[in-house]
Every structure is written in C-alpha cells, then in structure tokens.
Amino acid sequence: MGIGDDIMWRGEAYKKFKETGELQRPWNNKKEQYMNIETREVWKNVSWISRKGKPLDTLPNNQRRWYYNGTPYKPKVAPFEFKKEQIDFQKQIKFKEYIVINPYIKIGVYYPMKRWNYWLQLIKDLKHENIVICEVASSKVTTPIEQKRDILIRGLQGPTKEEILRVNPNVQIVSTENFMNTASVMSKAKYIVTTEGATHHVAGNMQVPCITIYGSHSSPFCTGYKTEIAITRLTECNPDGYGCRIWRCGGLVSYKENPNADKCRSCLEAMDSIKPAEIVKAINTWV
C-alpha cells in the first residue's frame, strides 16, 4: 500500500470507529496477517487506530483495493491532528497566505501514465501567487544533475530546486523529513495543485481545496473528493471516466524494474493534452 491507500484505510477505520466505538487495526486478508501500524506514518499516533483494535481489512474488494478495476468509490474523510513539532514545522513558511504545489510523482507501477510534464510552466504562470513546495529530505546535493539523480534514487520524479527557482524565485521550497510535516504545511494552504496520489488524499481529508490532475489513468469517481476540481480526460482506454481499462497499463512489473514495460498511449496523450492554462483557469474559479 502507498500513502494514499494508507489514508483511505485510515478514513475507513475512522468511519468504523465512529459507528462502533471500537478501535481499529489494519488487517491484510490476502496475507492473513496484521499490518504494522508503526511502519505507516499516517497510522501512527492516531487515536482510533491501535494494535488492540478490531481487524479491518485493507483489501476489501476481493483482496484488492476499494477502487480496483474502476470500482466506484468515495474515500472516507478523517481528521488530521498534528504534534507540536509538526505545527512548528509549518511555522517556517514565510507567507501569510500561500498555495501548495506538488510537482513530484512516485516512480511506481503506473508512473508514466500519471506523470505531468508542465510543472515548471505552471509555476512560472503563477508568479502572482505565494507558492510553497514540499520536497522529501535528501542527501546534500549541489548540481542539477546530482539533484535529478537523488530524486530518482528516492523513487520520485520532478523538477530540481534550481529549475523551479529559475522560473519563479518567489517559491519557498521546504525539505520535509516525513509526510506528516508535508500535511501540516498543506493544512494551512489556500489550495493545492497535484496529480492524483497521497497529496490529493490528504487535501481531501483536510477539506483543503485541491486541483487534482487525473488525466485518463485514474478517476475521481474512484478516488475523488468533493473539495477538489478534477482535471480528467475521456479516452479510448477510459470511455466512461472510471479510469484506464487497458490490461498491462503501466506494465506487470514496476517502472523502476523495467522502464520499457508496456505503456498506455492514450493515458500518456491524455496527460500531455492538459496544459497549464487549463489549471490556471480552474484556479480562477476560486479567486
């Protein structure tokens, strides 16, 4: 499970807790074993999640995710509470009002189909906004080549600090050692711009307005929130808006293991068809 899936289970656990009053514990029915709460950052120190809780399946859809294969699903919403160090981390933001942009994407099974290539142009076009970007803490790197290499090693893809600040010097880039630090920064944002994934899930849970770039691979009918504007495309592989139906979309192995794994060209073209001007137009609906 990725962080987005962890957040969705977290919401399901909160709903069950509110209904029954019983603490919840993540259970993997496929492997017939409990999952370690301490290894999941968004599960730790949560009042309704406990090793003494009742088992709640993390793979309820025939041993698959809730939204598997275009299954209609509305993620549940649960509150986020921050510890003092996370609240203090947010206080380093120099802007009174700001937006959060997430230009990074995990290099996973479906990485190519969920990648958006116009972040630098969007950041340039939003010079009138105070922009905050949260990057994952990394080793000290100095050159753009080293930065790109370091991002890839950490399983992420996105522009470097140097590239971002070249197009917009007003951006504040903060290095976050954990996802809860990122969430604390997001909690105070006017709105968030991101691709579908962990960032849009935490925005939905905190009910922070979010523009989510789905393209055609993922679907707001399966992982969307009422507080977001979804940027989607209907394509040959996604005729009904419920996500890509192409078998092997993204490959049967991860992109890191085989960069030449089969890709869905419709998904690639869908993401490429989404230009920064469309994102700015969506933003203006909130202004």
Which homologous superfamily does the CATH classification assign to the domain defined by 84-284?
Glycogen Phosphorylase B; (3.40.50.2000)
The token pair at 49 is: 């999640």
What's the rounded Cα separation, in Å, for the pair 81 and 43?
A: 11
Q: What is the pTM of this model?
A: 0.89
- Closest by Cα among 83, 75, 25 to 51: 25
Residues of the chain with CATH 3.40.50.2000: 84-284
> CB of 178 within 8 A of CB of 41?
yes
Collect all residues with Cβ–Cβ distance below 8 Å to 150 and sequence separation of at least 6. Answer: 138, 139, 141
What's the rounded Cα separation, in Å, for the pair 92 and 278?
A: 31
User: What is the model's pLDDT at position 252?
Assistant: 41
Q: What does the pLDDT look like over 1-39, one tens digit per residue?
A: 689 999 999 999 999 999 999 999 999 988 899 999 999
User: What is the model's pLDDT at position 254?
Assistant: 44
Q: What does the pLDDT look like over 142-201, one tens digit per residue?
A: 555 545 544 444 466 889 999 999 999 999 999 998 999 999 999 999 999 999 999 999
* DSSP-derived pairing of the beta strands 228-232 and 192-195: unpaired
Collect all residues with Cβ–Cβ distance below 8 Å to 57 and sequence separation of at least 6. Answer: 27, 28, 29
Q: What mean pLDDT is predicted for residues 39-55?
A: 95
User: What is the model's pLDDT at position 253?
Assistant: 40
> CB of 202 within 8 A of CB of 189?
no
